[in-house]
C-alpha cells in the first residue's frame, strides 16, 4: 500500500502523548521522507499560542526525544506542514472554525485523519461535533479516526462506546491504536513463527509445557494517580497489550498478511480462551500493590503514599492470570500473564517452555543441569530471540550446561524506530493490520470482566510487595511445582 497525503488533525496536541510520541514520530517520518507531499498537521489545543509559539514548542518536543541532532533543513520542511488551531473541545466554535480551515483556501488535503489524543470520556462528544459539521463526509476524500486506549472501562462501557461512535463512523474508518503492535519486535513474532517452517511441528500442546508473557516496569505511577487508581494493572496492561501478545503467539497461520485475515485469526484465539467463572477467579488471577522499597539503590514510596491515591485504595499495581485456549493446538497448555509497577527490572518478554524429554537418559551421570528448552522473545528494552538448549561441557566427564542460540533483531548499525512512526504511517496507507477491530476489544473484555467484577467487591485486603522485588507470591497460579516465573533472558543454569 502507498501512503497518501492527508490532513493529520491532532486533538490534544499540547498534551503529553503528543509531546513525547506523536510530534517526534511525525518529524522522524518527515526526515525519512515517508510523509507524502501535501501532508499537513493541524494541532488543536486550548493554550493561547500563536503559530510561532507552537513551532518553538514543537522544536523542544523533538529535541527532547530525537535520536540525533535536529536537522534544520528537515525541521523547516516539517514546520511548513504545521498549523496551530486554538480551540476548546467543548465549544462548537472550535469545530466550526476547524471546518472552515479544512475546507477553505489553505490547500489542505481532502483526506483527513483525526487523532484523538484525549480522554476516552470525550470521544463521543468530539465525534458528534465533527459529524455535525460534516467533517466525516467522504464525498471527496477518506476520513479516518485514530483512538487511543482504553477503549471502555469494562465490557458494558466498551459496547456502549462502540454503539455511540458507530453512529458517525463505519468500522473501516476506526483505527484503535495499541502501540505495542507497532513495536518491531512484536511484528517479528509473526515473522519468527510463520517464516521458519522448522518451528511449526513443535508449536503445540505436544511439545510446549507452558508459555509466559511478562511486562514489568521499575517505575511507579508518576503523575497519573487519578487515572491509574481508577484503572489498575489489569485494565492498563493485561486486557490490552498482553492479550494482544498472546494472540500473536497462539494464532493459526492467516491465509495472508492482509488486515482482515490477520485479525480474524487473532479473534479466533480470544474466542477460544476458556471463560473464567467468578467462583474460579482466585485460582486464575492474582493481584498485589507495591509498598515502600528500593529501586536502583534509591528508596521509593509505596502506592498508598503516591499523589492522588486514597489511603484505603485496593487498586492493583501487579496483576497476573492463567488462561487456557481450548482448541486443537493449545488444549491443556497454560498461558501465564503478568504485569506490574515498581518491579525489579523493566522488561517485556515472551518465554516459551518446552516439555522435558519423556526419558531421563542421564540420571546415573554427573549431569546436574537439565533445564527444559526455552524459546525467549525479548520485546523491550532488550530485543532478541533466543533458543536455549543443553550441551555437553568440554572435558572427560559427562557434564552439561545450558547455552543459547541468539538471533539479534537489529544489527548494531541499524536505528530503532518508535512504534508510533510505524502506526502513524499505516494510517496514511489505510493498512489496519496493526490496529484493533472491535470484536478483538470486545472478546478481550469478556476474558477479564469476571476478574474485574470479583476484585471490585473484595475491598478488605490486597497483597503487597516491596518495590524493587518481582512482585507478590502468586505461585498458586501454576499447574505444576516445576513451573515458576521466568524473570531473565539469560540461561538460568550454566
Cβ atoms of residues 22 and 62 within 8 Å: no
The total number of residues written for the chain in this structure: 494
Q: Which residue has the cell 517520518?
A: 29
Comparing C-alpha atoms, which of 225, 211, 217, 219 is closest to residue 321?
211
Residue 351: all three cell numbers together = 518465554
380: closest CA among 243, 179, 238, 175? 179
User: Taking a C-beta distance cutoff of 8 angstroms, is the pair 398, 415 a contact?
Assistant: no
Residue 108 grid cell: 489542505
Inter-CA distances, 178 with 56, 89, 242, 444, Å: 29, 24, 11, 13
For 10, half-sphere exposure in the C-beta direction (CA atoms, 13 angstrom radius) is: 23
* 241 is known as an active-site residue: yes
Catalytic residue among 133, 241, 282, 308: 241
Residue in 313, 287, 337 with CA at minimum distance from that of residue 444: 337
**Long-range pairs for 293-299 at CB < 8 Å and ≥24 separation?**
293/342, 293/466, 293/467, 293/468, 293/469, 294/466, 294/467, 294/468, 295/218, 295/342, 295/467, 295/468, 296/218
CB 324 within 8 A of CB 246: no
Sheet architecture: strand order including 40-45: 82-86, 40-45, 7-11, 112-116, 143-148, 174-177, 435-436
d(CA 460, CA 314): 8
Query: What are 343's strand-pairing partners?
Result: 469
CA distances (Å), origin 315, targets 341, 433, 451: 12, 33, 13
- Residues noted as catalytic: 241
Amino acid at each position: 500500500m502507498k501512503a497518501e497525503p492527508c490532513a493529520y488533525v491532532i486533538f490534544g496536541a499540547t498534551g503529553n502523548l503528543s509531546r513525547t510520541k506523536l510530534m517526534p514520530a511525525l518529524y522522524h517520518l518527515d526526515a525519512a521522507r515517508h510523509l507524502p507531499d501535501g501532508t499537513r498537521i493541524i494541532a488543536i489545543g486550548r493554550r493561547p499560542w500563536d503559530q510561532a509559539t507552537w513551532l518553538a514548542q514543537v522544536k523542544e518536543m523533538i529535541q527532547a526525544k530525537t535520536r540525533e541532532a535536529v536537522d534544520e533543513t528537515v525541521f523547516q520542511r516539517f514546520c511548513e506542514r504545521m498549523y496551530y488551531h486554538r480551540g476548546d473541545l467543548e465549544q462548537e466554535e472550535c469545530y466550526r472554525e476547524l471546518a472552515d480551515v479544512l475546507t477553505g483556501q489553505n490547500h489542505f488535503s481532502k483526506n483527513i485523519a483525526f487523532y484523538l489524543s484525549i480522554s476516552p470520556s470525550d470521544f463521543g462528544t468530539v465525534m458528534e461535533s465533527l459529524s455535525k459539521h460534516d467533517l466525516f463526509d467522504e464525498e471527496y476524500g477518506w476520513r479516518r479516526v485514530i483512538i487511543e486506549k482504553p477503549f471502555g472501562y469494562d465490557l458494558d462501557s466498551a459496547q456502549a462506546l462502540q454503539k455511540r461512535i458507530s453512529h458517525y463512523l463505519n468500522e473501516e474508518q476506526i483505527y484503535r491504536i495499541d502501540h505495542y503492535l507497532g513495536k518491531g519486535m512484536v511484528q517479528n513474532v509473526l515473522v519468527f513463527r510463520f517464516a521458519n517452517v522448522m518451528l511449526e511441528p513443535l508449536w503445540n500442546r505436544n511439545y510446549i509445557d507452558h508459555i509466559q508473557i511478562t511486562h514489568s516496569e521499575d517505575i511507579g505511577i508518576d503523575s497519573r494517580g487519578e487515572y491509574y487508581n481508577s484503572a489498575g494493572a489489569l485494565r492498563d496492561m493485561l486486557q490490552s497489550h498482553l492479550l494482544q501478545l498472546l494472540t500473536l503467539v497462539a494464532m493459526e497461520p492467516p491465509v495472508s498478511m492482509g488486515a482482515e485475515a490477520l485479525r480474524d485469526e487473532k479473534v479466533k484465539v480470544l474466542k477460544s480462551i476458556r471463560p473464567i467463572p467468578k467462583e474460579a477467579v482466585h485460582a486464575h488471577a492474582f493481584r498485589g500493590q507495591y509498598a515502600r522499597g528500593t529501586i536502583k539503590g534509591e528508596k521509593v514510596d509505596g502506592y498508598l503514599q503516591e499523589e492522588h491515591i486514597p489511603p484505603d485504595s485496593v487498586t492493583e499495581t501487579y496483576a497476573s492470570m492463567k488462561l487456557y485456549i481450548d482448541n486443537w493446538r493449545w488444549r491443556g497448555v497454560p498461558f501465564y500473564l503478568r504485569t506490574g509497577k515498581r518491579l525489579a527490572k523493566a522488561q517485556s518478554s515472551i518465554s516459551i517452555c518446552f516439555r522435558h524429554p519423556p526419558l531421563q537418559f542421564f540420571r546415573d551421570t554427573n549431569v546436574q543441569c537439565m533445564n527444559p528448552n526455552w524459546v525467549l522473545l525479548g520485546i523491550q528494552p532488550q530485543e532478541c530471540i533466543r533458543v536455549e538448549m543443553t550441551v555437553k561441557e568440554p572435558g572427560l566427564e559427562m557434564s552439561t550446561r545450558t547455552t543459547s542460540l541468539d538471533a539479534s533483531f537489529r544489527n548494531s548499525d541499524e536505528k530503532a524506530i518508535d512504534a508510533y512512526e510505524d502506526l502513524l504511517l499505516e494510517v496514511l496507507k489505510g493498512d489496519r493490520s496493526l490496529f484493533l477491530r472491535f470484536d478483538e476489544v470486545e472478546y478481550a473484555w469478556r476474558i477479564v470482566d469476571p476478574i474485574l467484577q470479583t476484585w471490585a467487591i473484595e475491598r478488605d485486603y490486597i497483597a503487597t510487595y516491596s518495590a524493587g522485588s518481582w512482585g507478590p507470591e502468586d505461585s498458586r497460579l501454576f499447574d505444576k511445582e516445576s513451573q515458576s516465573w521466568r524473570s531473565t533472558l539469560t540461561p538460568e543454569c550454566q
